[in-house]
Amino acid sequence: MKLIVGLGNPGYEYLWTRHNAGWLIVDSFIARMNAHEPQIKFSGAYWSGLTLCGERVSFLQPHTYMNLSGISVGAAVRYNNISVNDVLIISDDVALPFGRIRMRKSGSAGGQNGLKSVIGALGTLDVPRLRIGVGSPDTGIDMKDWVLGKIPTSQRKEWHKIEDAAWEALLIWVSGDIDRAMTKANGFRLNAEG
C-alpha cells in the first residue's frame, strides 16, 4: 500500500494559503479519483481503499496543524505497517519559485516544519517527498506571514498546471519508479508549459 500525505493547516482561514499547497494537491488527486468522503482517522482526513495504477493507495491530510504533522503521519504509517519508501509527503517549499515542483527520495526538512515533524516521527531522512514551489518573500516580509499568506489570484489561475504535473509524477511514483518520477517532476517548469 502507498500513503500520500498532503501537509497543511485545517480551517477556512488557511484555504489557499501557500502553506496549504500539500493539501491543495491532495484535494486535486482526490477529485481526479472521484474518491468517497474521508474518514476522520489518524488525527486527519483519511481516504483508504482506493486503487491507482494497480496499487492500493490511501491519502491523508493531517489536522494536527503543520508543525505537528508527524503525529498524524506516524499513526497512519504504524497502523497500516507501511514502509517509509511507500509514503509520499507533499508540502510547500519557499526555496522553490512558484511554478516548480521537486521530488526527492530523502533529505533534510529544509526548514519546512511539517516535514521536520514527519521526519522526526518516522525516524529517518529517507522519506520520499514532493515539494511545491511557493517562492520566497521580498526583504522585509516575515516568513510566517508569507507562508500563511494567500496564493495570489494570478497564480491560482495557473495552479491547475501544477496539479497536472504533480499528478503525472504521482502516477509514476505509485507504479514504483521513483527515479523516473523525480525526472518528470524536477523537469517541470510552469513558464515552459505555456
Cell of 102: 521537486
Rounded-to-integer distance, Cα 131 and Cα 194, Å: 21
The catalytic position among 19, 36, 63, 160 is 19
| Cβ-contact 55, 1 below 8 angstroms | yes
- Which run of H or of E encompasses 89? strand 87-93
Q: How many CA atoms lie within 13 A of 192 on its CB side?
A: 6
H helix runs in 41-190, sequence order:
69-80, 113-122, 143-147, 153-156, 159-174, 178-186
Whole-angstrom CA distances from 186 to 114, 125, 157, 175 are 21, 19, 21, 18
The separation between the first and the last C-alpha atoms of the chain, rounded to the nearest angstrom, is 36
Residue in the structure block whose three cell numbers are 523537469: 187
19 is catalytic: yes
**Beta-carbon count within 10 A of 85 CB:** 15
The catalytic residues are: 19
